[in-house]
Amino acid sequence: MPADPRDAVPWINPIGGLGDALLLSGVLALAQKTDDTKRYNLVRRTRYSGMFRGHPAIERIGFPPPGAQIIDVSYWAREQLGGGNQRPFQILARLFGLTTPVEEILFLSQELDQDPAMEEVLRGKERVVILSPVSDSPRKTMPPRSWQPIVDRLVEAGAFIIQVGKKNETHITHAYSLLGITTPRQLAFLIRRSSLVLCVDNFIMHLAHLAHLPAIVVWGPTRHEVYGYPEHVHFPTGSDCPEYSRCLGPQYAGNYATACPLGEEKHCTNTVNGDALSMEAMRLLAVVR
């Protein structure tokens, strides 16, 4: 049988977290808008495939044949593409032939216009706050007990807190739990109809940027100047930690899935000023109310 001509289109192998996939989606949309003849195949991965379904730059999602051209999108290992600007979006943009700097516009294909289940959760609620305290890396996660007093203050002030994340995450008392039951598109739907996001360096932070929603982001071993967005409020921690310079990064890839070696008590994100964060959240809620 003749080979499928679509197999000759370059294949993208999506790796990293959901946030990385959203960055890649934005870059591909921009590349396709710049040159509408650009098309790519996407290696099928269960975690990411749904985010790219219907993407204007994606020809097909499947499995590459032997000898296929594979595009490696591990921006964190692409120092030669840094070009004085190490922001992931800009590195990916250069990888796909764009002249940088470019505006960092994210893209999610086929976003939900309606979702009865999520609409029911939001029905009659005001000042909705999306809480996402966990990252794929434990080192970027803020311990639940540090979030609890913040959640308590916001609930007392009349906010409705929705906690999102994976099903095995610790539920924070007084937050409405949607742990483990939302798709990326449902999360985007929720965030577009909320007032504020509280999170760490994770997928939800990128969705807040996609939705132009105010966000307060707690940072540990990663830097908001590189991975965050200028419109968000940043609470950086950890710069004085003795492990900070060797905590995360391309040369310390083995640390990504491990807990802080100093223990939870000294974990950088556990040192955030909860009172200041709560006050900033209430200030933003008053503005967007």
Q: Is the pTM of this model over 0.75?
A: yes
Domain coordinates of the chain in residue numbers?
Answer: 5-95, 116-288
Residues 6+ apart with CB under 8 A from 216: 196, 197, 198, 199, 232, 233, 234, 235, 277, 280, 281, 284
- In this structure, what are the phi and psi dihedrals at residue 270, rounded to the nearest 5 degrees? -80, -5
Place of tokens 């591909």: 28
Fold held by 116-288: Rossmann fold (3.40.50)
What per-residue confidence (pLDDT) applies to 265?
Answer: 87
What per-residue confidence (pLDDT) applies to 2?
Answer: 42
Report the alpha-carbon distance of residue 173 to residue 191 in Å, rounded.
Answer: 21
Residue-level pLDDT, tens digit, the chain, 289 residues: 446 666 679 999 998 899 999 999 999 999 999 999 999 999 998 788 888 989 999 999 999 999 899 999 998 887 655 555 589 999 999 999 999 999 999 999 888 889 999 999 999 999 999 999 999 999 999 999 999 999 999 999 999 999 999 999 999 999 999 999 999 999 999 999 999 999 999 999 999 999 999 999 999 999 999 999 999 999 999 888 888 889 988 788 899 999 999 998 889 999 999 999 999 999 999 976 5
What per-residue confidence (pLDDT) applies to 231?
Answer: 97
What per-residue confidence (pLDDT) applies to 80?
Answer: 58
